[in-house]
Chain A
Amino acid sequence: MDFNFVTPSIDHDHGPGQPRPPTALTRREFLKGAGILTGTLAASSILSALAPSRAWALELKTLTSAQGEALLQMGKVLYPHKGLPDAVYALLVKDLDGAAGKDPKTAQMLSEGIAALDKAAGGSFAAASDAKKLEAVKSLQGTPFFNTVRGQCITALYDNDMAFAHFGYPGPSWDKGGYINRGFNDLKWLPDPSASASPAPYKA
């Protein structure tokens, strides 16, 4: 199951526009031991204007909810960004869950790594203090588990529309005609270069 913003819908159990809670999972999915991560975008987040709904849910195929939560928290320790919603970090969990589903060895490595995080945090990594979390992550630096999660962060966290909006990177520009008429040289806080160093743009 893909990462989804929960689209408003009407069903028998819930009113219109309500996010589908974990209980909506079928019995079969429960038997598979799949987990689910859910969250809500802060109303103040720039992303809440873009998403079809503030609530999001990520169903996991291989990892449990607790494992998913631990990886999400590990992502936040590795690449902390104030105000970056958990929905973006959930993309890391989605990618790792996908990798675990494809390869039992990866699933086992993640499972053991998460267990090591819990152990290093003295119980539950996800519930530990920020200082304890950092210590636990540091203690695993250099392990294949650490390298896998850290490497996955780079593509999972920074190559998606929510991250683009959060960090102020607009992505493709060709469909908007490039920046020739959209501020490629609009910087005003430094003196302009001479015309010989930087000639005026061509006007048809």
Chain B
Amino acid sequence: MSLLNKKTSLIREKRLQAISAYYGSTELLLNENIKEGQFLQRVRTFSQETASDILYALNVVSTIPESAIVIHGAAGCGAGRLSLDLTDNNDGKWAVTNLNERDSIMGSDVKLREAIKQVYKLHHPKIVFVISTPIVAINNDDIETVVEELTDELGISIVPVYSDGFRSKIGTTGYDIVSHSIAKYILKRDSTIKNEAPKANYVNLLSVSENEADLQEVNRLLQELGLNTNVFPRYADLENIQNVKNASFSISINPDEADYPGKIFETDFQIPYIQSVLPLGIAHTSQWITDISIATGHKTEALELISREKEKLTELLKKRKFNKQKVFISLTPAYAIAVYDLLVELGFEVVGIKLSYIDQLHFGFVEKLKTERPDLALLVGEGQLFEEENLIQKVNPEIYIGGKGGDFAVPIRNGIPVINIDSIQIIGFNGVINFVEKIGRSLANTSFTQLLAQNETRTYTNGWINKSTNWFIKKEVK
């Protein structure tokens, strides 16, 4: 059944039964829900701000070359994109439609039309992304007509991205929406893109949030297997997007994020999707290479590659011995799962895990934790630093591993050194070397973090810190 006939992707809560609020044992999490094949959704009666699907969507579309963005909403909605300009040195080809009260009553199509024409005139992009925002979603304002008219008039691809900022509490939904939109409005609509016979050894590499260094490492490994890659959607130009249909397989890097584009290409364009683990750490990278090699028929190359790479790592790992140092992990699920295994392999003791959300794809991990570490409680939630601080003060880690949009205020003010995985090349076999070196350096000298902590005033009262971490996480009463 075609997924692309729908206006946009389902939210993660509906599509994968994702939950965004939990704190407690893995046993309870499994017991109360496993019968229905889903975890039980809870609500936070108090919640701190989190990044919405709009920010996630902007994060991906901002990487697409020769494109421009029109944020269709109030002026303040432009702040999301502005923050990317400040941090990532982007080229600033974007506009906001600056909707006001009158537009919310009369409809906003005139302003949208004008904004798209303006960015076209200024930047001559090949693709214009129209990012929908709460005001447009609440009014159910029409974007489609403008898109249709201007696609014909300007002769470029105009892609409406139906994010809304409030239906889903899981920002990753924004990634799904972008993949859906690109596939629907470019791949499916453009009849000039011919369905050629799939090219052998040509694969779609589904990358949504990896940094460029990580992508290079993944590409290096796939090239060793004899595979040529076509990246989608991050950094994908119009040619990459059009080439999606020519690939013989789609391959995941992050199985959570690649899940949706993988499924779309499989159902709508009959491109088989190889979903594997995140290639982070020795075991997982080996597993990832093996899974791909079985599907693509490169088993021999894979075996050779894995043994060659492992050999290089053996020497390094012998030198670096870790001694049960206590670690706290605060990451998105796929990264947390892989980092957990790597840390255990390296000799660390994981004392706390915070996942931004958790869904059907993560049952295996929760079950494993239940067996291996029944004492370990899970915190689920995006942002929610007040809960993270509460938990960190209870479990006293010596090092904190975070990233993927996370915030490091909590560990820093508690004097705990931070490894931000976004700032290192962590994927693949080379990633293991970088990670081990980084963590070694961070543990060797913690005086900088301690200095920062000494100059911090306390953010929370003892009243909150002494409360249970799940004080504000309640079962919904229906």
A joins B in a complex? no
Which B residues fall within an 8 A CB radius of A? none
